[in-house]
Chains A and B, each alone.
Chain A
Amino acid sequence: MKGNKKRKLSLEKKIGLWGIIFVMPSIVLFSVFSFYPIAYAFVVSLYKKELLSLEAPKFIGLRNYIRLLQSESFWNSVVATLKFSVGTFIPMVVFSLLLATFILGRKRFQKLFQMMYYSPAIMQSAVAALVWLIIFDPRSIANQFMNFILRTRGVDYKWLVNENMLILSTIIVYFWKYIGYFTVLFLAGLASIPKEINEAARIDGASRFQNFIYITLPLLKPTTTLVSITAMIQCLRTFSTQYLFVQAGASIKPIEVITLNIYNTAIRDRNIGRASAMSVLLFLVIMILTVIQLKISRSEETYY
């Protein structure tokens, strides 16, 4: 009996050892390419460091953070990021769910629809933004489409000029690009709900709408949480659309999201210390959201 226990433990140890061996490469890669930069960014954020200067950085403690919190530009970025994130992630979650339901309800061309909606997600963000810049050109199809729909002629909807339209334009690009990705996530979630539950409800006389509201939606909670938080985090990290729009002449103020501000602070202002402080703050927000996601997804685990 004793001997058996000993053998069992050593087997566990062996398995554990192999586990560690298999996990090691990713831990090493993660440490080098993720943990180290995060830690380094935190250290740099405590220094006054000029990107081109050969002089040793000067330790200034939390002064970069204090300056940030007093900076008009930083708060403008916070507002721009919030406007963009809220404006993007709510329609994205709602429409991706509706699209997934629509696709799942199709008997034909299911795969084709999936492919069509997903294809923008594999496109480079910069390319997507460039394509949309052409569309938003006043002489191009965005204005033509609006004029056709609203039965107006020659109205310039100022997609890249008017502050609100500019924000809407960035939202449209992001929405178009990622809607397919989240639709696929919802499709996986919907497919995992056993058919028997829906069939039982239908036998009990539930309509399609009631079925969706009272059966599908509650069972889809973990996927909805996952999609919501992932979409929110994606929105907080948006960069290339805003960057390219500004390069194309759009005003920076309404769309200077935090990532763009980080980039400008580091590259244009060459102030790598303050840019790192901003990155650390953004990292903390994203980390808090991730923790919330983990907590909710654990508490909302669904058993069929």
Chain B
Amino acid sequence: MFRKVLFVLLLVSVIISFGAKIQITIWTHEDPNRTRIEEKYIKEFMKMYPNVEVKRVTYPSDKIRDIVLTAFAAGKGPTIFNLEIQYAYPYITNRRVVPVDLNAIGLKSYDELKKLYVKGTLDAVTYGNMIYGLPLEITNWALFINKKYFREVGLDPEKDYPRTWEDLMRISEKLTIREGNIIKRRGFDFRYPYYLTFFLPMVEQLGGALFDKKGNPVVINDQAWIKVLNFMKEWGPNGKNLGSPTYPAARKEFNKDNNTIAMCESGLYQILRIKEENPKFYNSNEWMVVNWPIWKDAVKDVRCNYYGHYYMVNMQASRPEREMAWKLIWYMLSHPEEYLTEVGLIQPRLSLMQSEVFKKFPYANVFLEDLEKSHMIPLHEKDPQIEQLLKEMVESVMLSNVSPETALNTFKKKLAQLMEE
């Protein structure tokens, strides 16, 4: 009797386990344009694989880092997720994600996979000869300009747009409107606090660096750093009062076309966000995109560092979940042209970068030109802490009247302490 009951129970559990659907959860950052197409791909994928159930959850981009981290720490991470690479990199080094499943995506080797992408764009997720993520987007920033504010102050946007940082400051001064000390319209403002993305290349253009050849963080060429810090000091509220980290984000204000900002720095996706948020401005032909500036006496022609978002798969997911997760990622990412035309994201597939669709996309050439002169933000296990130290240094100079020399010395001291730990 007991054996019979045991047999029936075993049979039922086998049937249930085979009949159970594979559950996949994706956590990703908010982007209404992307949500629209990814929800569509997920529906198509679930039709192709009826035994799979996919749940896509979005979080604000400044919150998702903490949410994913705490979920992983508690062993409850999602099956698939994406973060800016500097925040995702420790998931690779801590073995919290699995390498790309070549069988699942129908490729024979990682070399074959690498050949599909622009050279070097998979380096950030390559660790010990394995590839741990597939690029959802590679993003660099260029300069967005509202043309009518240029004309308003007697400048021709097509000819007089800033090419150097010196130009940028001079033109911003012209464009800025103040009531006493209160800025009513900023000419341009930086994208705080992404100092690894925009501040480091400014230093590099002058021959400075933050990482030595072995990848260890160390301040190289003090003079370059001090020049950039002086520029930021002059920029801030205690200098020429052209902008500040405490004002609303320039790129968000730019889309509104409400006379609060004339220029901002942002990625290609900004174009479709303008279209989504302010179609009137988008169709007005009153905005344009130009290359990211460089110092007049630059010794190295590097542009804004690019960063990447890579889809990755949780190591703690079951084997069938992982396999299906890679299949789903591969399916979604097999539409790079749609990601570009619908969301404005650059997936660095060779086929896309050489396609007519890419060439015809508004201002894609500007971003590509800069991309070719850029490199990815330097990856280090302690990137978040390093970026925080950069923030403290730059903002102490901009907001608290600390001298660039003192700020740099404090930064060096704190960086050394951080590395000691």
- A interface residues (Cβ-Cβ under 8 A, vs B): 50-54, 137-139, 143, 152-156, 158, 160-163, 247-253, 264, 267-270, 272
Residue interface bits B57-89, CB-to-A below 8 A is 1, else 0: 000001001100110110000000000000000
Docked complex Cα distance between A153 and B180 (Å): 7
Docked complex Cα distance between A19 and B119 (Å): 72
Docked complex Cα distance between A139 and B184 (Å): 7
Establish whether residues B247 and A138, one from each chain, have CB atoms under 8 Å apart when the complex forms: yes
Establish whether residues A154 and B247, one from each chain, have CB atoms under 8 Å apart when the complex forms: no
Q: A54-B96, A249-B247, A270-B69 are in contact. Are A138 and B392 (CB under 8 A)?
A: no
Establish whether residues B384 and A52, one from each chain, have CB atoms under 8 Å apart when the complex forms: no
Establish whether residues B248 and A137, one from each chain, have CB atoms under 8 Å apart when the complex forms: yes
**Minimum CB–CB distance for A180 against chain B, Å:** 28
Q: Which residues of chain A are within 8 angstroms of B95 by Cβ–Cβ distance? A: 54
Docked complex Cα distance between A156 and B399 (Å): 13
Establish whether residues B244 and A249, one from each chain, have CB atoms under 8 Å apart when the complex forms: yes
Knowing that A52-B69, A161-B246 touch, tell me 6 more A-B residue pairs with CB under 8 angstroms: A52-B73, A138-B247, A155-B181, A158-B237, A249-B244, A253-B392
Q: A52-B73, A154-B182, A158-B237 are in contact. Are A248 and B90 (CB under 8 A)?
A: no
Q: Say what secondary structure dominates the interface of chain A.
A: loop
**Minimum CB–CB distance for A124 against chain B, Å:** 15
Docked complex Cα distance between A270 and B69 (Å): 9
**Minimum CB–CB distance for B310 against chain A, Å:** 16
Docked complex Cα distance between A269 and B244 (Å): 26
Q: Which residues of chain B are within 8 angstroms of A158 by Cβ–Cβ distance? A: 237
Establish whether residues B178 and A154, one from each chain, have CB atoms under 8 Å apart when the complex forms: yes
Is B192 in the interface zone, CB < 8 Å from A? Answer: yes
Nearest chain B residue, comparing its CB with the CB of A162: B399
Nearest chain B residue, comparing its CB with the CB of A264: B388
B239-271, CB < 8 A from A: 244-248
Is B94 in the interface zone, CB < 8 Å from A? Answer: yes
Establish whether residues B399 and A155, one from each chain, have CB atoms under 8 Å apart when the complex forms: no
Docked complex Cα distance between A272 and B181 (Å): 43
Establish whether residues A154 and B69, one from each chain, have CB atoms under 8 Å apart when the complex forms: no
Residue of B91, B96, B388, B399 with highest tally of chain A CB at under 10 A = B399
Nearest chain A residue, comparing its CB with the CB of B248: A137
Establish whether residues A268 and B399, one from each chain, have CB atoms under 8 Å apart when the complex forms: no
Establish whether residues B388 and A268, one from each chain, have CB atoms under 8 Å apart when the complex forms: yes
Establish whether residues B69 and A155, one from each chain, have CB atoms under 8 Å apart when the complex forms: no
**Minimum CB–CB distance for A140 against chain B, Å:** 10
**Minimum CB–CB distance for B389 against chain A, Å:** 11
B104-143, CB < 8 A from A: none
Nearest chain A residue, comparing its CB with the CB of B193: A249
**Minimum CB–CB distance for A278 against chain B, Å:** 15
**Minimum CB–CB distance for B246 against chain A, Å:** 4
Residue interface bits B157-182, CB-to-A below 8 A is 1, else 0: 00000000000000000000011111
Q: Which residues of chain A are within 8 angstroms of B246 by Cβ–Cβ distance? A: 138, 160-161, 248-250
**Minimum CB–CB distance for B191 against chain A, Å:** 11
Name 24 interchain pairs, CB-CB below 8 A, sorted by A. A51-B72, A52-B72, A52-B91, A52-B94, A53-B94, A54-B96, A137-B248, A138-B182, A138-B246, A139-B184, A154-B179, A154-B181, A156-B182, A156-B237, A158-B237, A161-B246, A163-B400, A249-B192, A249-B193, A249-B244, A249-B245, A249-B247, A253-B400, A268-B385
Q: A51-B69, A52-B69 are in contact. Are A253 and B244 (CB under 8 A)?
A: no
Establish whether residues B193 and A54, one from each chain, have CB atoms under 8 Å apart when the complex forms: no
**Minimum CB–CB distance for A31 against chain B, Å:** 20
Q: Which residues of chain A are within 8 angstroms of B388 by Cβ–Cβ distance? A: 252, 264, 268
**Minimum CB–CB distance for A168 against chain B, Å:** 14
Docked complex Cα distance between A178 and B400 (Å): 30
Contact of B181 among A156, A252, A267, A270 (CB under 8 A): A156
Establish whether residues B244 and A161, one from each chain, have CB atoms under 8 Å apart when the complex forms: yes
Docked complex Cα distance between A129 and B351 (Å): 47
**Minimum CB–CB distance for B183 against chain A, Å:** 7
Q: Which residues of chain B are within 8 angstroms of A161 by Cβ–Cβ distance? A: 237, 244, 246, 399
B404-418, CB < 8 A from A: none
Docked complex Cα distance between A153 and B182 (Å): 10
Establish whether residues B392 and A252, one from each chain, have CB atoms under 8 Å apart when the complex forms: yes
Is B380 in the interface zone, CB < 8 Å from A? Answer: no
Docked complex Cα distance between A138 and B72 (Å): 40
Contact of B94 among A54, A139, A248 (CB under 8 A): A54
Docked complex Cα distance between A269 and B69 (Å): 11
Is B370 in the interface zone, CB < 8 Å from A? Answer: no
Q: Which residues of chain B are within 8 angstroms of A153 by Cβ–Cβ distance? A: 179-180
**Minimum CB–CB distance for A255 against chain B, Å:** 12
Is B321 in the interface zone, CB < 8 Å from A? Answer: no
**Minimum CB–CB distance for A304 against chain B, Å:** 51
Contact of B180 among A53, A155, A268 (CB under 8 A): A155
Nearest chain B residue, comparing its CB with the CB of A156: B181
Establish whether residues A267 and B70, one from each chain, have CB atoms under 8 Å apart when the complex forms: yes
**Minimum CB–CB distance for A248 against chain B, Å:** 7
B369-421, CB < 8 A from A: 384-385, 388, 391-392, 395-396, 399-400
Docked complex Cα distance between A137 and B91 (Å): 37
Q: A161-B244, A252-B392 are in contact. Are A272 and B192 (CB under 8 A)?
A: no
**Minimum CB–CB distance for A302 against chain B, Å:** 47
Docked complex Cα distance between A42 and B303 (Å): 48
Nearest chain A residue, comparing its CB with the CB of B70: A267
Docked complex Cα distance between A272 and B72 (Å): 13
Q: Which residues of chain B are within 8 angstroms of A52 by Cβ–Cβ distance? A: 69, 72-73, 90-91, 94, 96
Nearest chain A residue, comparing its CB with the CB of B90: A52
Q: Which residues of chain B are within 8 angstroms of A143 by Cβ–Cβ distance? A: 182
